[in-house]
Amino acid sequence: MTEPALILDAINGALADAGLRAEDVDGLNVSSWVARLDSRTVSQWFGGRPVWTGTSIPGIEAVLEAAAAIQAGQCHTVLIATAQCGEYTDRDSTVSWTRPQNEFVECWGLYTAAEFALMAQRHMHIYGTPRAALSEVAAAIRSNGAVNPDAVFYGRECSPAEVEASRMVADPFHLLDCCITSEGGACMILTTAERAKDLDVTPIHVLGGALDRQGMSYVTAPVWERYGWVGRRAAELTFEQCGLGTKDVDFAEFYDPFSFEIIRQLEAFGFCKEGEGADFVLEGRIRIDGDLPVATNGGILSYSHAGVVQLLQKPLNAVLQLQGRLVPELTLHEPKVALATNGGSGALFCDVMALGKEPV
């Protein structure tokens, strides 16, 4: 399939799911990686009517931008869609976006896995974080994907021992500590709470959100002492906006590019103290039957990592989980509040948002 075909398929699916028509949409944020589709081009698909257009990368930042535009009265129904396919053709190397051609980066082979590995190594040195904790994270998330029929790695169960047995990529990351590469598309629709009441859906509310940016990804050196807690401010602002805290979160669609990032986010956001993330995960607490299930659809370690699409996957799966629409093995018992994130320490950015069944 082509990227335009994937985007159109995702758009039609989201509109049908919400019981909306194309003419109901008056806001667009649509883009793709290879075909370079943009919102102004796609507005022709919607009849060339006047519409609001977003400029943020499709993911949490695009959701927050659209929510702000709706709140400000610039539009009432925004469609966010993206797709990526046809980019990964050089199978002898990692995908292009993980090895940017930046000075002081390319010449040292400092690709994405190595950037994040430096952060993990520093944490392990400071806090004594054991290798077993990383293996538990990877196995827990991949186990979710193994029972999700929509996941790329459906049926591929994974144990901590298998994670450690997989080949080394960038110490301490073995192959199964690293997210996958796939292709696909996604679409999400936001509207006002009033309009959502008239639709045949279970509306999910944006409760709060914030962005943390500390520099250009894969350009600035990933120094733990400077960037290790990126996202902490964003999480604090998110909780402050909705009057909630970590104890109110029922599950977390944390960004999972590498196993260590889950441990880091647990500590950065206050689910446990600094240096205690390893104990948190080794107690089984992020498993689907734990008290804070993480990446409940299998995440980008197992479900899908379709380029930029995976950024939108995080809030999108939070919605599906809150609506009770995952397979029974992955459906939580009456969850009310979710936390979703994008980015991580090696990328020098981390976006956070809270979603819930009820407004606050």
d(C-alpha 260, C-alpha 43), whole Å: 40
The crossing angle, in degrees rounded to 10, of helices 260-268 and 131-146 is: 100
149-173 pLDDT, tens digit per residue, is 999 999 999 999 999 999 999 999 9
Asked if residue 30 lies in contact with residue 62, where contact means CB atoms within 8 angstroms, the answer is no
pLDDT, one tens digit per residue, over 305-349 is 998 899 999 999 999 999 999 999 999 999 999 999 999 999 999
Regions in the chain scoring below 70 on pLDDT: none
Are the C-beta atoms of 113 and 119 separated by less than 8 Å? no
Domains for the chain: give ranges and CATH numbers. 3-87+181-356 (3.40.47.10)
Pairing of strands 205-213, 349-356: antiparallel
Return all residues near 325 (Cβ < 8 A) that are at least 6 apart: 331
Confidence (pLDDT) at 244: 98
Res 110: pLDDT: 84
Q: How far apart are CA 31 and CA 105, in angstroms?
A: 27
Q: How far is CA 146 from CA 123, 251, 314, in A?
A: 29, 19, 18
Instruction: Provide the b/e sequence for 316-339 (b: ≥16 CB within 10 Å).
Output: bbbbbbbeeebeeebbbeebebbb
